[in-house]
Structures are given as C-alpha cells and as structure tokens.
Amino acid sequence: MRKIISVVIVATAFAMGTATAQESAESGALNECYESTGDQPRTALQPCLERKAVEATSQMTTAYNTLEAQTKEIDSSATAKALASLRASQEAFEKFKDAQCQWQADAAMGGSGAGDFLSACNVDLIRWRTKQLAD
C-alpha cells in the first residue's frame, strides 16, 4: 500500500511540475516578445528581452532588499544566520541561472536564436526567483 501511495505522490508531483513548466514556457519572456514585436524582424526580440531583463532584475532586487530588511528587523539570535543563508541562496541562484541559461543557449547548437534563448531564460528565472523571494 505504501508503494502505491508513493507512486501516486511522485506522479502527482511530476504532473504538477510539468504543468508549471509548460505554463511558464507558454507565458515566458520569449513568447511575450514575439507577441509584442509582431511582424518586425527577429532582431527586434533582443531589445524587448533586454527591457524585460532590466525590469525583472529591478523587481528581484526590490524583493530581495525587502526580505533582507524584514529579516534584519527580527530580534532573534538566529537573524544573522538567516541573513547569511539568504545571501548564500541568492548567490547560488545566480550561479544556477547563469549555468542553466547558458545550457539552454548551447542547446541551440549555434543557431541564430541562441542569444534569444539565453536572454529569455534569464528573464524567466529572475521572475521565478522574485516570486520565491516575495512569497
């Protein structure tokens, strides 16, 4: 019985993760820029993605700074450790983001869209991180 429950839990988690990834891909920065540039040349995607990256980074920085300030206000012997963990988490996220997005660009095998994939991945992951910091 435990094995069946474990399988159901894993299958449910996988299905939820797949649905979330699919929703993210469908509403991601690259699709947003494709929609907003319309019939313009594909080269119009990069400026759009750059604007979205600046906006997303600003929002993430605000969320991080807010969380950091809220944590500093907590009068606890564990505050310093929580702040150190927050910084370590952010540093780890940056490393992950860079590696993940580089992999996505490299998976284009040198195609002309590699830079767009890299930029869109950055925006999408920064948005994800912002949500994690804000929740």
Query: What would the pLDDT profile of 99-121 be if each residue is shown by its tens digit?
Result: 999 999 999 998 888 999 999 99
Look up the pTM and report it: 0.78
Q: What was the pLDDT predicted at 125?
A: 98
**What are φ and ψ of residue 118, in 5° steps?**
-60, -50
Q: What was the pLDDT predicted at 110?
A: 85
Q: What was the pLDDT predicted at 112?
A: 85
Q: What was the pLDDT predicted at 22?
A: 43
Those residues with Cβ within 8 angstroms of residue 46's Cβ, 6 or more apart along the chain or in another chain: 115, 116, 119
Q: What was the pLDDT predicted at 27?
A: 76
State pLDDT tens for residues 54-69: 999 999 999 999 999 9
Q: What was the pLDDT predicted at 5?
A: 40
Stretches where the chain sits below pLDDT 50 are: 1-25
* 34/64 Cα distance (integer angstroms): 29
* 104/92 Cα distance (integer angstroms): 18
Boundaries of every domain in the chain: 2-134
Q: What was the pLDDT predicted at 26?
A: 60
CA 90, chain centre distance (Å): 12
Q: Where are the alpha helices (DSSP H) in 1-135?
A: 2-26, 29-37, 45-72, 79-106, 114-134
Residue type, 60: M
Q: What was the pLDDT predicted at 35?
A: 94
Asked if residues 30 and 49 have their Cβ atoms less than 8 Å apart, the reply is yes
